[in-house]
């Protein structure tokens, strides 16, 4: 079904690369971009997931299996796109993951820091570095980075993850200022409480917790991937032509309402942002 939000295609004939575009928020973004006229390159490490999403979209999408943590593979992706299409108009750096709960920072393994860095920040630098010169050459382009609400607030469960997500936000802000005169815009979103591959709330929450969304989130419901995709579409298209260097908190109002709090009812975890009494 076509997205009814807008009356006309917003990305007609544009070439868009979506990293992690095979599932969750990335897949919703890939589908929405295609519905709005874009030719979408789905870059994903999961060949099956990327292929299924591309097949569901049809001729407007192609899957390119890529581990965006690997510089050589990112360069190969850029060559594939630029050789095949001659340009790139939109880059969505969507890949990211909290990987696992590490416990207190004092007890963490520095190898985990490196893993978190590579999947949450390094790939943003690699992909942007690979595609930005082509945008500068054409004096046109939009980059949208996917950070997290945890990059905007204190995240006691994993300060290292939070630091990298905050770095994505500041990279977004700083690069936008640097390349604005080249006709390239750089923005980001910071999701929260949204169903995704990494955060499957529909599986995590009990029946009782599911009834508490109105108390937990100001808008009264869980976010879905399409909510995030619509914000990404806005930042990728000309509706946001005068917007750059900003991060939109796509969180249903949770950032405005509060954040993490200590829990006395969860013996396995000291902190919660779940819809239960503390």
- Determine contact, residues 166/249, Cβ cutoff 8 Å: no
> Is there a catalytic annotation at residue 161?
yes
Q: Can you tell me the distance from the alpha carbon of 8 to that of 11, in angstroms, rounded to the nearest whole number?
A: 9
Tokens 């169903």, residue located: 195
- Determine contact, residues 93/123, Cβ cutoff 8 Å: yes
Tally Cβ neighbours within 10 Å of residue 268.
6
Helix ranges (DSSP H) in the chain: 24-35, 47-57, 71-85, 110-117, 123-138, 159-179, 201-204, 207-210, 213-216, 225-236, 254-257
**Can you read off the two tokens belonging to residue 224?**
């879905």
Check 117, 155, 161, 201 and give the catalytic one. 161
* Beta-strand runs (E) in 20-95: 39-44, 61-65, 90-93
- Determine contact, residues 228/201, Cβ cutoff 8 Å: no
Active site residues: 161
């Amino acid at each position: 079904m076509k997205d009814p939000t807008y009356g006309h295609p917003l990305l007609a004939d544009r070439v868009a690369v979506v990293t992690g575009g095979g599932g969750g928020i990335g897949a919703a973004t890939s589908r929405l971009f295609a519905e709005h006229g874009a030719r979408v390159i789905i870059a994903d490490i999961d060949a099956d997931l990327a292929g299924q999403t591309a097949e569901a979209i049809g001729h407007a999408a192609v899957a390119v299996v890529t581990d965006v943590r690997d510089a050589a593979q990112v360069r190969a992706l850029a060559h594939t796109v630029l050789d095949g299409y001659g340009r790139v108009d939109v880059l969505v750096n969507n890949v990211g993951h909290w990987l696992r709960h590490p416990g207190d920072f004092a007890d963490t393994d520095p190898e985990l820091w490196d893993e978190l860095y590579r999947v949450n920040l390094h790939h943003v630098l690699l992909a942007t570095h690979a595609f930005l010169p082509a945008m500068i050459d054409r004096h046109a382009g939009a980059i949208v980075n996917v950070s997290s609400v945890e990059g905007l607030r204190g995240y006691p469960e994993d300060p290292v993850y939070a630091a990298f997500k905050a770095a994505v936000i500041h990279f977004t802000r700083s690069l936008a200022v640097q390349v604005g005169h080249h006709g390239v815009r750089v923005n980001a979103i910071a999701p929260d409480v949204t169903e995704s591959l990494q955060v499957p709330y529909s599986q995590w929450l009990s029946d009782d917790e599911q009834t508490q969304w109105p108390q937990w989130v100001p808008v009264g419901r869980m976010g879905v991937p399409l909510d995030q995709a619509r914000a990404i579409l806005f930042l990728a298209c000309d509706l946001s032509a005068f917007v750059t260097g900003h991060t939109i908190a796509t969180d249903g109002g949770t950032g405005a309402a509060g954040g993490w709090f200590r829990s006395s009812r969860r013996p396995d975890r000291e902190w919660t942002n779940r819809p239960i009494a503390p």
